[in-house]
């Protein structure tokens, strides 16, 4: 033990419990020195060790047709035919972004991009599901602007388009914003890389930026603890990014891949050298010896433990054959990158760290990577969760539904988000077949008819009321978004954002959400290829809404036949698909208009969803459907208004229902889709639909949205007026 700290003070400051320290001593056969203790504290942190989630994550489906790589590597890999594959992963940078929004978000992009090219894939797209507190608070505006600027700065500099995502605003995220970032890449299947160290005697090469003290303790002290009054003191644990160095690192790694010079490749993210080296050794069932005196430093006087746990960005660890050393270093020099042989692969199954001739750490790889303790917390159902939905007369109806619709269109959760995505270069690489703002993004695969469709979805408010139903609904809505674009869902990556798992209510929410997600993924045959768990999203004991975010990819068979949400031509029939009954519980109407979050959300009928989505995909591919838009936030009225705004055309709608008009129009339930079909194809569409619930509810017509229900006109709003309310709201809220 070095310094003035005794053993107890040291392990507690490093975030370890007494029994965890005892477990480390048992695994080591002795007491660890400070460097060893620091490495174990990172590897056994919640962020790296998945102590509360590992037992439950085993319930998620991870295998299926086309899955070339599931969880366990830097990213999942999905076969898309033609000898090509898609790599994808989503992760969080919540805690760093809440402390320092620009660098937190920027380095979140940097980290997830490295996960993709560590697999040998060239990144082709970023997605950014974001959640903040109310924009009425000045700090939330500061966080939003900083996060968007950070994402734009890093992604734009690297030439990777940010093409999709979502933004939600709820009071529950005031103390802990959620900054989830997803990256997608494309790779030839014969060039896929793995992070599996092999071949005793092979060399370990550190490439990229120099190593400093930035990010030290990020995975343990910052990401694996709640926030309190000391939050701002954790600013030094936030990493600092350099996208230009990462761009050079990306190109160098792909050149090394193309020339067949790599045995293995791993990025340095959370826990830095500690995690990258030990995880590579664990996967290959080998050991690694490292001489950290050969690590290029940007700060003087760094201690061995600081070098081992630094989270300085833009660094990769490679395993190469000794005879290729000169060629590998020459390529790194060509790209103006530091590259140094810092170690070698051994057959010891140990991670040994040297400072020159002096050994400063000697740890069993298995203990570091595979033996972090796991915890099962007695689940406690939260008191706010109920078994029955609210009665339909629980709230008084508003007197003016026109005003209600206009107010909802101005809601920051529904309004136009172009203020955000205009700051991203979403056109770089020129693959776009469908622009941001639609149900999903679609990218062309150059030289092929097929396209890659991508979306993210998560709604913490619904999961707060019922985490199992909410998680099922998130998967179903992501699949519905892809289907409305004409793409078949194939796989998901997930980012599971929750509060403190040591509390019974939070553990219950996590357990239920994982089960719900597993059920939906099995139904849609969309395995989970990997992802991230982000716990301890709490401030002063107040947790965020439980929010399992889904990143989903699918294939569009023909990029010339893609579904879009906007109304197209006068006289087209407007059809409502599905028979789900809208409800106020958990809706944007309940939250934004009625000022409440209560009840029990409607469940998703997974079998009906599958059939409806298949119908929509087939109809789009046959050219029967001119527009497709799922009914989600804001209910049917907002769905119709958004289609009218997007297409610049009005509609006359007649609804027949025994439901109160405000609930029918603004209530929400999964499983409803609005499509438009040319009159002459209605019979053909009906034949395709067979016995599925479909009804013609109106026609595209004029320049107003007119909705009639319960024998009276409920909505009569010029499309231009709706567009003005919807289009200007977010920028007005932010800039005043």
DSSP code at position 596? -
C-alpha to C-alpha distances, 466 to 142, 180, 386, 568, nearest whole angstrom: 31, 22, 8, 37
- Residue 47 annotated in active site: yes
Compute the CA torsion angle 534, 539, 545, 549 (nearest 10 deg): -30
C-alpha to C-alpha distance for 591 and 169, rounded to whole angstroms: 11
* DSSP percent split of the chain into helix, strand, coil, nearest 5: 40, 25, 35
C-alpha to C-alpha distance for 103 and 527, rounded to whole angstroms: 32
C-alpha to C-alpha distance for 48 and 71, rounded to whole angstroms: 14
503: its two tokens? 């509390």
Q: How wide is the angle at C-alpha 294 spanned by C-alphas 291 and 297, nearest 5°? A: 125
C-alpha to C-alpha distance for 170 and 736, rounded to whole angstroms: 19
Indicate the SS3 state at residue 49. Answer: helix
Cβ neighbours for 528, distance < 8 A, ≥ 6 positions apart: 60, 61, 62, 70, 71, 491, 492, 493, 494, 517, 521
- Whether 149 and 102 have beta carbons less than 8 Å apart is answered as yes
- Residue 684 annotated in active site: no
In 27-108, at which residue ranges do the beta strands (DSSP E only) sit?
67-69, 76-81, 84-92
Q: One of 52, 93, 131, 629 is an active-site residue; which one?
A: 93
Cβ neighbours for 160, distance < 8 A, ≥ 6 positions apart: 113, 123, 124, 125, 126, 183, 428, 429
460: its two tokens? 């913490």
Place of tokens 């040297």: 354
Give catalytic residues, as residue numbers.
47, 93
């Amino acid at each position: 033990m070095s310094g003035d700290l005794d053993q107890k003070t040291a392990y507690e400051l490093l975030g370890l419990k007494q029994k965890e320290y005892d477990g480390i001593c048992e695994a080591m056969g002795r007491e660890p020195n400070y460097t060893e203790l620091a490495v174990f504290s990172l590897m056994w942190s919640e962020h790296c060790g998945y102590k509360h989630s590992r037992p439950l994550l085993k319930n998620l489906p991870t295998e299926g047709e086309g899955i070339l790589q599931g969880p366990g590597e830097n990213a999942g890999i999905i076969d898309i035919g033609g000898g090509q594959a898609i790599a994808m992963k989503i992760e969080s940078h919540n805690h760093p972004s809440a402390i320092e929004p620009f660098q937190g978000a920027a380095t979140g992009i940097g980290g997830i991009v490295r996960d993709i090219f560590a697999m040998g894939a060239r990144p082709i797209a970023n997605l950014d599901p974001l959640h903040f507190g109310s924009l009425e608070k000045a700090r939330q505006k500061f966080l939003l602007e900083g996060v968007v600027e950070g994402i734009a700065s890093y992604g734009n500099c690297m030439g990777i388009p940010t093409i999709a995502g979502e933004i939600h605003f709820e009071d529950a995220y005031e103390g802990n914003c959620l900054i989830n970032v997803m990256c997608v890449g494309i790779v030839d299947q014969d060039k896929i890389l793995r992070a599996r160290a092999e071949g005793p005697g092979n060399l370990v090469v550190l490439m990229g930026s120099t190593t400093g003290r930035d990010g030290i303790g990020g995975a343990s002290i910052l990401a694996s603890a709640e926030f309190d009054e000391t939050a701002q003191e954790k600013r030094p644990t936030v990493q600092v990014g350099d996208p230009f160095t990462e761009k050079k690192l990306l190109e160098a790694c792909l050149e090394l891949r193309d020339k067949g010079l790599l045995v293995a490749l791993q990025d340095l993210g959370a826990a830095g050298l500690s995690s990258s080296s030990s995880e590579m050794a664990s996967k290959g069932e080998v050991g690694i010896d490292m001489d950290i005196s050969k690590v290029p430093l940007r700060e003087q006087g760094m201690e061995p433990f600081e070098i081992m746990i630094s989270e300085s960005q833009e660094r990769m660890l490679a395993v190469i054959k000794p005879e290729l050393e000169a060629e590998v270093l020459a390529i790194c020099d060509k790209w103006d990158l530091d590259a140094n042989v810092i170690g070698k692969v051994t057959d010891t199954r140990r991670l040994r760290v040297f400072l020159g001739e002096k050994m400063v750490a000697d740890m069993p790889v298995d203990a570091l990577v595979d033996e972090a303790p796991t915890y099962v917390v007695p689940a406690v159902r939260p008191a706010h969760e109920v078994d029955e939905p609210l009665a339909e007369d629980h709230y008084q109806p508003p007197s003016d539904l026109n005003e209600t619709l206009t107010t909802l269109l101005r809601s920051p959760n529904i309004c136009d988000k172009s203020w955000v995505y205009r700051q991203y270069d979403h056109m770089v690489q020129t693959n776009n077949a469908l622009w941001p703002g639609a149900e999903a993004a679609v990218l062309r695969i150059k030289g092929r008819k097929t396209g890659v469709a991508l979306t993210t979805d998560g709604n913490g408010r619904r999961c707060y009321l019922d985490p199992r139903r909410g998680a099922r609904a998130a998967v179903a809505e992501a699949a519905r978004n892809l289907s409305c674009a004409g793409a078949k869902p194939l796989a998901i990556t997930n980012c599971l954002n929750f509060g403190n798992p040591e509390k019974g209510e939070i553990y219950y929410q996590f357990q239920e959400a994982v089960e719900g997600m597993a059920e939906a993924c099995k139904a849609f045959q969309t395995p989970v290829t990997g992802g991230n768990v982000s716990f301890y999203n709490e401030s002063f004991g107040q947790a965020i809404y439980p929010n399992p975010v889904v990143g989903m990819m699918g294939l569009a068979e023909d990029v010339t036949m893609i579904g879009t949400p906007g109304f197209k031509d006068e006289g087209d029939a407007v059809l409502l698909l599905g028979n789900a009954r809208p409800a106020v519980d958990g809706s944007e109407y309940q939250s934004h208009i009625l000022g409440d979050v209560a009840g029990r959300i409607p469940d998703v009928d997974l079998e009906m969803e599958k059939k409806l989505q298949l119908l929509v995909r087939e109809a789009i591919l046959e050219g029967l459907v001119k527009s497709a838009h799922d009914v989600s936030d804001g209910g049917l009225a907002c769905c119709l208004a958004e289609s009218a705004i997007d297409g610049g055309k009005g509609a006359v709608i007649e609804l027949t229902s025994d439901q109160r008009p405000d609930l029918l129009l603004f209530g929400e339930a999964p499983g409803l889709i609005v499509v438009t079909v040319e009159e002459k194809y209605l019979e053909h569409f009906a034949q395709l639909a067979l016995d599925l619930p479909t009804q013609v509810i109106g026609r595209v017509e004029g320049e107003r949205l007119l909705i009639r229900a319960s024998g009276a006109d409920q909505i009569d709003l010029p499309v231009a007026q709706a567009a003005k309310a919807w289009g200007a709201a977010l920028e007005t809220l932010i800039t005043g």
